[in-house]
């Protein structure tokens, strides 16, 4: 946690957020406003709002916190599927963000867990805020995720994802009776703010799928999915596009309730991943079994 102190030497009154933006390089005015609202800014030893006016002689104290200074811890345990000296494969539980969505995001994230588990790795190898991360999963999506311990391993794995050499397998419970045992969805995707849509002006996107089981009575299907590209919300967008949205995925047309039971989240699970291990020099494959809530709906729907 870094602290800065300034003595105001201007004759005219000025808003504190504007004053600090001019004096603390690299921080936006919006960020300074957040610091004020979070009580990290004091004038003459009193916490102030961003519109507080200051004048000559005032003493301004600013605390520049690190994420660990204000994050709220929630999830402490996470299943380690595989670990060696250069990478870790984890089974991410649902409702755990991979990394903070914004500054002052107080939710406990996968990144926070990694920072606690491997503090020496962070200090010695990364000057950046987000070490390890090679790919991500949505907050509500559970399952297998790979993180690196070393910068060169992170770089190698990232390149494998960019070259589409990594095989990813997901499973999802979807609305409707899916016709045929196998299929492929090829439809360009464009991101608009926090959602994605199929659009002619979007980027190429391709998802294969296989029907695992179906419940004709409830008109629900269980799919295995193979995304070739890696667009934001690709699987969710493509399934909605073919009128088989994932149950619980209210943003993309999924139902909120099945058999009288509320669906607590998007029923999407990252089941398997295959990549070339940078140090072992061979292809490796890891599987994460679905969590309790996912298995509950599989059982409820006899899938």
Provide the β-strand partners of residue 184.
208
Residue 91 CB neighbour total at 10 angstroms: 20
**How far apart are the C-alpha atoms of 298 and 293, rounded to whole Å?**
9
**Quick one: which of 224, 260, 253, 267 has its CA closest to 95?**
267
**Quick one: which of 144, 112, 106, 146 has its CA closest to 130?**
112
Token pair, residue 34, equals 């957040």
Ramachandran region, residue 30 (left: φ > 0; alpha: ψ -120 to 50; beta: rest): alpha
State the catalytic residue, choosing from 17, 112, 138, 156.
Answer: 138
Residues 6 or more apart in contact with residue 77 via CB below 8 angstroms? none
Contact between 276 and 157 under an 8 Å Cβ cutoff? The reply is no
**Quick one: which of 180, 151, 135, 166 has its CA closest to 228?**
166
**How far apart are the C-alpha atoms of 45 and 63, rounded to whole Å?**
12
Token pair, residue 117, equals 């588990």
Give the distance, in angstroms, between the CA of residue 54 and the centroid of all CA atoms in the same chain: 40
Contact between 223 and 182 under an 8 Å Cβ cutoff? The reply is no
Contact between 284 and 203 under an 8 Å Cβ cutoff? The reply is no
Query: Does the annotation mark 138 as catalytic?
Result: yes
- What is the set of active-site residues? 138
């Amino acid at each position: 946690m870094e602290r800065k102190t300034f003595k105001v030497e201007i004759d005219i009154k000025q808003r504190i957020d504007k004053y600090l933006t001019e004096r603390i390089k690299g921080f936006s005015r919006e960020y300074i406003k957040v610091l004020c609202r979070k009580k990290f800014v004091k004038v003459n030893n009193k916490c102030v709002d961003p519109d507080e006016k200051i004048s000559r002689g005032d003493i301004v104290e600013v605390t520049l916190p690190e994420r660990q200074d204000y994050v709220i811890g929630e999830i402490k345990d996470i299943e380690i599927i595989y670990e060696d000296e250069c990478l870790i494969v984890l089974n991410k539980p649902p409702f755990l963000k991979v990394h903070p969505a914004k500054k002052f995001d107080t939710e406990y994230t996968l990144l926070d867990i990694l920072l606690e588990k491997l503090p020496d790795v962070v200090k010695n190898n990364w000057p950046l805020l987000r070490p390890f991360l090679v790919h991500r999963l949505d907050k509500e999506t559970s399952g297998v995720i790979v993180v690196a311990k070393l910068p060169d391993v992170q770089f190698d794995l990232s390149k494998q994802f960019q070259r589409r050499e990594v095989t990813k397998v997901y499973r999802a419970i979807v609305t409707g009776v899916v016709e045929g045992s196998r299929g492929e969805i090829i439809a360009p995707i464009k991101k608009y703010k926090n959602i994605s849509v199929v659009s002619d002006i979007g980027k190429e996107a391709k998802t294969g799928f296989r029907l695992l089981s179906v419940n004709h009575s409830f008109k629900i299907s269980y799919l295995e999915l193979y995304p070739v590209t890696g667009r934001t919300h690709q699987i969710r967008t493509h399934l909605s596009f073919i009128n088989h949205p994932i149950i619980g995925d209210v943003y993309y047309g999924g139902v909120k309730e099945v058999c009288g039971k509320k669906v607590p989240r998007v029923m999407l699970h990252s089941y398997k991943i295959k990549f070339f291990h940078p140090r072992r020099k061979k292809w490796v494959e890891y599987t994460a079994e679905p969590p309790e809530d996912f298995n509950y709906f599989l059982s409820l729907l006899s899938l």
